[in-house]
Amino acid sequence: MYNPLEYAERLRRIVVRGVERKYYRVARGGRWYGGIATADCVGCPLKCVFCWSDAPRDRPGSIGRFYTPEEVFKALDKVASKRGYRQLRVSGNEPTLGREHLLRLLDLVEESKRYVFVLETNGILIGHDPSYAKDLSRYSCVHVRVSLKGTCPEEFSRLTGAVPEAFELQIKALEALVAEGVPCHPAVMLSFSSEESVEELRRRLRSIDPPLDEEFEEEYVFLYPHVARRLKDAGLQPRIAYSPGNIPEELI
């Protein structure tokens, strides 16, 4: 098992260079959230067995190149303007690894007055340092989607290979975001969860802030061939999963 905070520090030296951040793709359009422009970054402090973007995660030193926040925003803006999108995001790996880069990118989004930025994050670094949530509270353009890797510490560890106690950092991220008034919601990987563990998590979220339960987003494994192979190798059988060509509309 590994400590994702310690791993994040090692990753930063590879994927962050001052205000620049490594990306392997900028930018693309997509149907998610009803239409969104996406830039895909390199490097994540979690090693989820179901991750679809494992090559940039596992080989951060050899994949991608560095971009400034201005270059990333320009690329996102170009795609969004061409397709009529009003939403932007950084996806692929973990956007919060490059804090200075991310905040400068959000400055540009805020200044444009044209977009909502969906910050997709596992929450580990926000939970570790709640001042991150305070920084995010400066922006009216941001909505944070905290992707919980399972419903409890044991499930989190089984799916990520990380120490179980790191699950609490994901919960602390939601607590910090709520405390700072940052719009947010949880998206929870439920492919491996029992009904009892899901309900226990939902009770916990309600105790933090009832809207976290009301806006509870269900997330399930998409069985890309490389994902299916890794699950088989790990001896994990999802209760619910979908092929890439058969994803329900409500999950898009």
User: With contact defined as beta carbons under 8 Å apart, do 43 and 57 qualify?
Assistant: yes
**Amino acid letter at 125?**
L
Six token digits for residue 41: 């970054």
Q: What is the mean pLDDT of residues 2-20?
A: 97
Of 102-116, 118-132, 165-179, 218-232, the least confident: 218-232
With cut-offs at 50, 70 and 90, classify the pLDDT of residue 252: low
pLDDT of 30 reads 86
How far apart CA 36 and CA 17 sit, in angstroms, is 27
List CB contacts of 77: < 8 A, sequence separation 6 or more.
37, 88, 112, 114
Of 67-76, 164-173, 193-202, 223-232, the least confident: 223-232
Provide, rounded to the nearest whole percent, the portion of the chain with pLDDT above 90.
Answer: 79
Six token digits for residue 236: 């994990």
pLDDT of 91 reads 93
- Residue 103: exposed, middle, or buried by beta-carbon count in 10 A (0-12, 13-18, 19+)? middle
Fold annotation for 4-242: TIM Barrel (3.20.20)
In the chain, domain spans: 4-242
pLDDT tens across 52-107, in order?
Answer: 777 888 899 999 999 999 999 999 999 999 999 999 999 989 999 999 999 999 99
**Amino acid letter at 166?**
A
With cut-offs at 50, 70 and 90, classify the pLDDT of residue 200: very high
Q: What is the mean pLDDT of residues 170-195?
A: 96
Six token digits for residue 251: 């999950």
pLDDT of 173 reads 98
Res 221 pLDDT > 90: no
pLDDT of 128 reads 98
How far apart CA 187 and CA 209 sit, in angstroms, is 15
pLDDT of 52 reads 78
Residue corresponding to tokens 């069985």:
223
Res 251 pLDDT > 70: no
How far apart CA 69 and CA 75 sit, in angstroms, is 10
Q: Is the dihedral of CA 65, 133, 250, 192 positive or negative?
A: positive
